[in-house]
Structure 1
Amino acid sequence: MKKLNRLGDLLQGSEFRQLVDENWDIIEKGILSGEIETKHLLNRVRNLVLTSGGNAPLELSDLRLSKLQNKKFDLAKDRLDSDIDYLAVALQISLDRIDTIEKKNEAVQYMLDRLYGLDSGTIEVYVDGSKGNDIQGDGTFEKPYKTITKAVINLPRIVNTNIFILCTPVLYDEEVTIPAIVGGRVYLRPTNFSSTNPLNPMGFQVKSITAVNLDWIHIGGLEQPSYTSYPLHFIRIQNCGEFQLEKVRVTANTKSSTMYGLLIHNSFGSIRNTRFQNQNIDLRAQFNSSVIIDADCTHGTASTRGLEVSFSKIMKETSGTWSATTPTALGKGGFIYE
């Protein structure tokens, strides 16, 4: 501490005053310095807290030191504000991870719903090639899909119920494949199926349909469209336990193509009330297939080849000779019963 000036002769006028003023300056500076040091001391005390642990039951910890961020701040308030921001960021990261997990769970649930038909009731999926939407649609009557392919993709794969794919009768320019659905009975029909007549145009047209590994499939009210370039077949049934084709119109002129109207491969089933005409080949049954052609099937203008069979059998219940340049063609292991 700085010492005050000693006063000499009190009668020495101006000198005495000067000494007194200097002493007051010393006192003021000392008090100010003390206040500053006291402020710093109080600030340090405020930044110290008692905490347990370490080598003693209680010890002093610096409140400015962030254990979360492993750094020291000038003020405890700065450390608290920074820690809050740090925790907020960490919380947001955790919430983002939770959101990611929820989305993955939704994706898994979606796949399970596609795999298993959780509703034991009849499943109806609606398709409208004119007004439907494959992005915003959900297959309901109010919000139909646009394509049959989209409807098929979203069907469950293991069910114990009937599945109806109900289509507005318009042209669907797509080659549709219906894959295996275990336990289900699948119906592909137009919404006006009950009033259709294969002797006349029916409106529900699909470029081609392939049904593979199904336990049971019914395709009805379907009409073959006309194209300049045809696929290999109009309808192909392959490795299906049982099939039914009903009210099908196989009448586009495909004589100049290599197309099969109906191609049945290793499957058992029947063809009912179906119209044939102008085909390259009306029907081929192959590789352990068994096909019944009901008596109500009809034929218009003669086709190039009628019924082909190889390692399979066809039971023809229609009367008379099949209307084709070559009515029947028996390959090895093929039989036609009339």
Structure 2
Amino acid sequence: MLLFFCHSGRSAEEIRTFNMRGFVNIIWNFSRGGINMKQSLAIGTALLLIAVALILAGCITKQEPEWDVTSDGFLSYRMPVLDSDLDPLPESLEKTDNYTLCKVVYKSRGADIEGLIRIPENRSGKQVPGIVLLPGATVTKEGEQGLARYLCDIGYASIAIDQRNLGGINMEGDLRMFLNGEEPTQHKMVYDALSAAEVLRRHPEIDPDRILYLGESNGGRFAITGCALDERARGVVAISTCGYGIDALVTLGRMKDPEVIRFYRSVDPDTYLDDISPRTFVMIHSLNDPVIPYSSAQQTYIKIGESKSLHIIEAEGHGYNASMNPFLEVELARVFS
């Protein structure tokens, strides 16, 4: 029997080594006759009692894997996602009468992720809600500041991040990685979003219980998945985005390999819709979106449980524009009330 003991100051590897050595010593003493039957019975009883006590105390726990995908294709990560000993230190860039802008760099799955944190001037002294901003493909954190400025003007803090590959994805490359047992980049991008939420939660001016994900285009897909995995999040706003509809392809027989299906379901936002309800789910889409057709957004929307809303704008274009502001103001006030 191997026992894993709680011991402050010991790493997981040290604990495993410690327990293995103890086990080997017991076997060695048995082989040399150094432990008789009466002693072995006493030792076995004592170890059993210790194990029971540790279990009751919560010191022996079954550790979930850091990264996992279930047989049904559900991605999961162990939370929390930031090492408490490695809190990122914001670098102040601008401070005005209306806002503070800081740059932050945090570690996430082997990468340094850069973000811009914008916080409104808060004269009430109360913590403000925070929003994780995930730009569309090729859009930088600086390119997301138009939306960040508007959110700041109506009272919300935000962190906009430079996503890996600037939000671009390589579906075939990620599939190969997954089939080889490696963690795909798209999964890491979800983790980056979860980490960004933790950065906000640790900021003293931001309310850790009022966090929301907001993404545009490809960033909207990661926002949906991130919100589903982050049970503390209030909800998600998805602009100019949709799911991939993998389950429909499987039903039509166009995808049959179980491992391939498992991968594609893990990166399809549609897989996670039920895990967001009853939290708030808002979609905003242009009726004349030239990149992601409105009909594709509708297909995702009909699968969402309550509470949900879909807002349509007439202006042609893809991604955020100012005509969406009235919908954002109303929906954010509702979710953070």
Q: Same fold (TM over 0.5)?
A: no
Shorter-chain TM-score: which interval? Answer: under 0.3
- Give the TM-score normalised by the residue count of structure 1: 0.27
Say which one has the larger Rg.
1
More helix by proportion, 1 or 2? 2
More strand by proportion, 1 or 2? 1
- Give the TM-score normalised by the residue count of structure 2: 0.27
